Structure 1
Amino acid sequence: MREERRDRDSEGRARSARPRDGLGRPLPYGAPGVERQPEGVVRGAGETLREAQRLLDAGMPFHAHEVFEDAWKSGPEAEQALWRGMAQLAVGLTHAARGNATGGARLLLRGAAVIDAYPERTPHGIDMAGLTVWARELAARVGDGPVDAAREAPRLT
């Protein structure tokens, strides 16, 4: 029986050490990849939005999703739905850019529903109405083939 080696992080948790491309897809060991987002970074809302927008504009929505996930997990409990919805939008764009129309549309619509239900309309200056429209429009046309993540990146504020 062949024993498989699992990559581990410094704390012993399973974490792939394979490099990733700009859309978060694993590449072969040793291949040049995109620098990964560090996990567990605590940022304020403004810093979260600036970093996520930078990554979205660079065509790296998977990495923006990780920034939103950090905010979701480390931020105030009252804002967890906001950041979860934002993460779903970013990963929806990731799937759409990878050519996964079904998954992309589903996550875009799920994220849009989450932020549409959020009680505040412009938390931290986020254009919730504009993001909801963007996500629903993109979800309606992802079946036409993979989208260009950088060209389709939304404006968050």
Structure 2
Amino acid sequence: MSGTAEVRQGGGRDRDPDGRARNARPRDGLGRPLPYGRDGVERQPEGLVRSPEETVVEAQALLDGGKPFHAHEVFEDAWKAGPEGERALWRGLAQLAVGLTHAARGNVTGGARLLRRGAAALEEWASGTGQARPYGMRLAELGSWARELAEAVEQEDTTISATDWAPRLRGPGA
């Protein structure tokens, strides 16, 4: 978040120093809100402009740490701040991360749907640009991973481990 969120007195909405609505509740590793006053996972700063390299490295560290919701926020920043021609790429990656989040929370239908939507977005972006490995990421492998996970959660109808299913954004030689 940009700045520290403040809680308004009298039951009002949480607001940042600029007056924008911001939920200041702590969150767990999967982004679920916790009660005020509880310790949560440190939130990703909102609206941070990172280089593509920094985005990939930061998102991978969060995915490896079982924090796909937070990786989604990193991808979302790139989606919103990046060049127009790359927004669909970052949006697709954000959809994969939030799909993993939903699958790990036990939302089978939503998780599978977002995983497939993200995979399709990456494939469409790659075919439209001719770039199969932007910033060293292997989009075809990410799409296969997403579809495999979508199938697994639907067949098993169970909650999965975000850490065990964390994708590798870059393959060997990246």
Q: TM-score range by the shorter chain?
A: over 0.9
The answer to whether 1:5 aligns with 2:12 is: yes
1:27 to partner: Cα distance:
0.1
Aligned with residue 136 of structure 1, among 138, 144, 147? 147
- d(CA) in 2 for partners of 1:13 and 1:124? 33
Residue of structure 1 equivalent to 2:104? 97
Amino acid at match of 1:121: A
1:4 to partner: Cα distance:
3.9
Residue of structure 1 equivalent to 2:46? 39
The answer to whether 1:75 aligns with 2:86 is: no
- d(CA) in 2 for partners of 1:4 and 1:110? 37
Deviations 1:21-44 (Å, cap 9, x if unpaired)? 000000000001000000001011
- d(CA) in 1 for partners of 2:146 and 2:22? 30
- d(CA) in 2 for partners of 1:60 and 1:10? 27
Residue of structure 1 equivalent to 2:63? 56
1:16 to partner: Cα distance:
1.0
Amino acid at match of 1:97: A
Deviations 1:31-63 (Å, cap 9, x if unpaired)? 010000000010111100000000000000000
Residue of structure 2 equivalent to 1:153? 166
Across the two proteins, how many residue pairs are aligned to each other? 155
- Segments ≥4 residues shifted beyond 3 Å: none
Residue of structure 2 equivalent to 1:124? 135
TM-score w.r.t. length of structure 1: 0.97
SS at match of 1:81: helix
Residue of structure 1 equivalent to 2:6? none
**RMSD after superposition:** 0.9
Amino acid at match of 2:167: P
Deviations 1:47-104 (Å, cap 9, x if unpaired)? 0000000000000000000000000001111000000000000000000000000000
Matches within 5 A, 1:22-37: 22-37=29-44
- d(CA) in 1 for partners of 2:94 and 2:87? 10
Deviations 1:96-133 (Å, cap 9, x if unpaired)? 00000000000000000000111311111111011000
- d(CA) in 1 for partners of 2:49 and 2:24? 22
Of structures 1 and 2, the one scoring higher in RCO (CA 8 A, sep 6+) is 1
Amino acid at match of 2:151: A
Q: In percent, how many aligned pairs have the same letter?
A: 67
TM-score w.r.t. length of structure 2: 0.87
